[in-house]
Amino acid sequence: MKIKLSSIIISAVLLSPIRISGQVSNLTTQNQTHQTFQNLTCKTCHDCDIPTKENPCLIKCPRDFIATVTQKPENSPNTIMIDRLKNSTDIYNPVIFKHQAHAEMAEMSGGCSSCHHYNPPGSVVGCIQCHKPNRATADLNKPDLKGAYHRLCMNCHREWSGEVECNSCHESKNKSVKTRLAANAEPTRKRIHPVIAVPTRLTFDTPNAIGKIVTFYHGDHVNLFKLDCQNCHSNENCIKCHSKNKTLVTHASLDQHHKICSSCHDTESNSNCGFCHQNKETGPFNHKEKTGFDIAKFHGKLSCERCHTTKGKFTGLKDDCALCHGSWTQENFNHKITGVALDETHSGLECDNCHKEKNYFNPVCTDCHDDKSYPKNVPGKRIKK
């Protein structure tokens, strides 16, 4: 696999030979070497001015994702052994990696491609396919296998605990590894993470907006609109709830909130701000108030998917009954299902005599009766639907 120079990954563990902390002259020499042979600068890999071993501030790798595997976490291996870097002098056992637990975490950050960023269609290839065990540090276009492993793990673990001690993943050789691996080799077929309580409603203060309050009905978005967690929580990770270092936890900016909502709502037009931003808390979703189409009379028991057949898309439908029901005529429509059994006089009329412009909710009587109107007057007899 060919990777561009901009796609360079440097493992934090590989920085120690450079000795960049407190040794500017040595760093300058190394930088000159990079520029001579690789046409690199510090900013190619680091997003701060003075990277250190403790805080290398490595940039996120801008890989061009190739066909990647997608699989539910509960269908993936529970635990796997990482043992490709066997060394007789190594003081550690192979790493027992809790794959399913990490796969669940990845659902809110990048999915399978967070780690499996290269996979031909229909297969999952190991890291060693591209990242070789030999430490070819002269070529920084692609890290070796050890560097690739550590690069994937260390950023998350540093955010989680503020530390990246070796024994957080590696056990010394005086401990048995085979028994634990055998006990956890098969998929558990169920979620490892406890069920998270889903809030019904969230309220946000937006003092700089025209409307000071945004009422977000989380339950509606999950239950009515059938959004998956990752539709909104796609760039988050576990530290939002579990970080031991609370200073690392950041809250979404205004732009981030709008970006999440923009996939369904128009957040670009200033004239549309009042849809979300109001000066008081609002009630849950009401189809008539939001769309003008009252579904309570005849469609209240239907699931949203019966009319909105494309997942995640709820706009664009017209309130013309014929869109779903075809063309109603006097012969093919049983008027009793509306709760009104037409009398002999009205049963012989065409539908559009009373329902002008196919408005089936508010029939018009005045074309024939100057003194009658609906619903005060009924063209027949009311019956149970």
CATH of the domain at 148: 3.90.10.10
| Residue 302 domain flag | no
> What pLDDT is recorded for position 233?
78
Is 305 in a helix, a strand, or coil? helix
| Residue 194 domain flag | no
Same domain flag for 133 and 10: yes
| Residue 172 domain flag | yes
Q: Show which of 183, 214, 247 is a domain's final residue.
A: 183
Same domain flag for 368 and 224: no
In this structure, the number of other CB atoms found within 10 A of the CB of residue 64 comes to 11
In this structure, the number of other CB atoms found within 10 A of the CB of residue 366 comes to 10
Q: Show which of 285, 304, 338 is a domain's final residue.
A: 285
| Residue 250 domain flag | yes
| Residue 313 domain flag | no
Same domain flag for 272 and 374: no
Same domain flag for 208 and 264: yes
Q: Show which of 183, 212, 229 is a domain's final residue.
A: 183
Task: Give the neighbor-by-neighbor strand order of the sheet with 277-278.
Answer: 202-205, 213-216, 277-278
Same domain flag for 9 and 86: yes
340 DSSP β-pair partners: 382
Tell me which residues of the chain have a pLDDT lower than 50. 1-37, 65
- The residues near 44 (Cβ < 8 Å, ≥ 6 apart) are 5, 6, 8
| Residue 163 domain flag | yes
| Residue 128 domain flag | yes
CA-nearest of 211, 193, 192, 225 to 308 is 225
- Please name the helix (run of DSSP H) or strand (run of DSSP E) that holds residue 158, with its range, or none: helix 145-161
Same domain flag for 160 and 79: yes
CA-nearest of 84, 247, 237, 220 to 162 is 247
Q: How far is CA 273 from CA 219, 267, 287, 298, in A?
A: 22, 7, 19, 31
Whether 364 and 354 have beta carbons less than 8 Å apart is answered as yes
> What pLDDT is recorded for position 176?
64
193-235, pLDDT tens digit by residue?
Answer: 777 778 899 998 888 888 899 999 999 988 888 887 777 877 6
> What pLDDT is recorded for position 39?
61
Dihedral of CA atoms 221, 225, 229, 234 in degrees, nearest 10, equals -90
- What global pTM score does this model have? 0.52
> What pLDDT is recorded for position 44?
73
Is 298 in a helix, a strand, or coil? coil
∠ CA 79-82-84, rounded to 5°: 155
> What pLDDT is recorded for position 379?
92
366-382, pLDDT tens digit by residue?
Answer: 889 988 999 889 999 99
* Residue showing tokens 């967070």: 114
CA-nearest of 340, 353, 324, 343 to 383 is 340
Domain extent, residue 343, equals 325-382
Same domain flag for 23 and 122: yes
Same domain flag for 23 and 137: yes
- How many domains are contained in the chain? 3
| Residue 317 domain flag | no
The sign of the CA dihedral 323, 328, 332, 336 is positive
Same domain flag for 258 and 163: no
> What pLDDT is recorded for position 244?
66
Same domain flag for 21 and 167: yes
Same domain flag for 24 and 85: yes
CA-nearest of 353, 337, 336 to 299 is 337
Same domain flag for 14 and 45: yes
